[in-house]
Structure 1
Amino acid sequence: MPVIKILPHPEYAPQGTEIQATPGHSICEILLENHIEIEHACDMSCACTTCHVIVRQGLESLNEAEEEEEDLLDRAWGLEPQSRLSCQTIVAQKDLTIEIPRYTINHAKENH
């Protein structure tokens, strides 16, 4: 079973953490199942950028971003070439290292 290493984030994982991932599930689903309450204001419908992550290792193992995701990513805070929307990024068999950006474009957090 692959492992997702989450780099330190002041709110979601202050010390960083590693979690077991279920292949075939989105990064967002896996984070939420493991009590890492990443923002997902659109309820994972690919309509916002609040679940933006940067894949630091393992990007090549993930599903390709579709045009809708790429268009939305243009609005994400801290966009990098390895940026993905975690709700659209499906985990395969390879370990991943991700960074959750410190900020989102969301002015008020949703209560999920």
Structure 2
Amino acid sequence: MPVIRILPHAELCPQGDEIEAPAGTSICEALVENGIAIEHACEMSAACTTCHVVVKQGFNSLGELDEIEEDLLDKAWGLTPTSRLSCQAMLSNEDVTIEIPKYTINHARENH
């Protein structure tokens, strides 16, 4: 099973973590199932950017981005060339290392 290494995040995972998840699982599903409460305001339907992560290692193992994900990522805070929506990034058999950005754009939570 591939390992997801999560870099430290002050609120969600202060010490960082390593979790295992079966290939074919989205990064977002794996995080939530292992007690890391990453935001996913659209319930993992690729309709927002709250589950944005930066893939530090293993980016190419996650498959290609589709047009919907690319368009949404343009709105994500802290966008990088290795940004993905964790609800759309499916694990293969390779390990990945991710960083959860410090901020997210969540209009519902911000009362906009």
TM-score strictly above 0.5: yes
The one-letter amino acid of 2:73's match is L
SS at match of 1:61: helix
Q: Which residue of 2 aligns with 1:104?
A: 104
Segments of structure 2 that go 5 or more residues without pairing to the other structure are none
Q: TM-score, normalised by structure 2?
A: 0.95
Alignment match, 1:82? 82
Q: Which residue of 2 aligns with 1:6?
A: 6
Specify the code of the residue in structure 1 equivalent to 2:81: P
In structure 2, give the amino acid aligned to 1:44. M
What corresponds to 2:25 in structure 1?
25
Note the alpha carbon deviations across 1:11-33, whole angstroms, 9 max, x for none. 11101010012110100000000
Secondary structure class of the residue paired with 2:35: coil
**1:47 aligned partner:** 47
The runs of at least 4 consecutive aligned structure 1 residues that moved more than 6 Å come to: none
Structure 1, unaligned runs of 5 or more? none
Q: Per-residue deviation at 1:3?
A: 0.5
Distance in 2, matches of 1:94 and 1:83, equals 17
Residues 109 and 22 of structure 1: is their aligned pair in 2 closer, same or farther, counting only changes over 3 Å? Answer: farther
RMSD of aligned alpha carbons = 1.2
Q: Could you state the TM-score of these two structures normalised by the residue count of structure 1? A: 0.95
> What is the count of residue pairs matched by the alignment?
110
User: Contact 1:76/1:105 (CA < 8 Å) preserved in 2?
Assistant: yes
CA-CA distance at 1:109 after TM superposition: 3.7
Q: Identity of aligned pairs, percent?
A: 68
